[in-house]
């Protein structure tokens, strides 16, 4: 069974103009989040991303943006704080 995280909260993004499709991010991602389509990588399963940062650290062209170390908790906490305010 594939591990799922909270829906629509991962901070993961690819800067398409920087990506050359080397597939390094696919090699290091533990959750099959990416796929090569054409000559660039595409995010195919964003909700499977646990924000570990391996793809960002290993991309030779700095084409990946992700906020690491929170496991998707930041937006959840922000929403909770807004409801309390």
* Nearest to ligand SF4 of 20, 80 (CB atom): 20
Decide: is 13 part of the binding site for ligand SF4 (CB under 6 A): no
Residues whose CB is less than 8 angstroms from the CB of residue 51 and which lie 6 or more positions away in sequence, other chains included: 10, 11, 12, 66, 67, 68, 69, 70, 71, 72
Decide: is 21 part of the binding site for ligand SF4 (CB under 6 A): yes
Q: Which residue in this structure is represented by tokens 């991602």?
A: 29
Decide: is 9 part of the binding site for ligand SF4 (CB under 6 A): no
Which residues contact ligand SF4 (rule: CB under 6 A)?
12, 14, 19-25, 28-31, 33, 41, 49-55, 59, 61, 63-64, 66
């Amino acid at each position: 069974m594939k591990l799922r995280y909270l829906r629509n909260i991962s901070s993961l993004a690819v800067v398409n103009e920087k990506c050359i499709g080397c597939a390094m991010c696919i090699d290091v991602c533990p959750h099959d989040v990416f796929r090569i389509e054409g000559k660039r990588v595409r995010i195919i399963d964003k909700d499977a991303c646990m924000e570990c940062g391996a793809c960002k650290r290993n991309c030779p062209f700095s084409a990946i943006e992700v906020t690491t170390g929170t496991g998707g908790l930041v937006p959840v906490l922000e929403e909770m704080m807004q409801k309390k305010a």
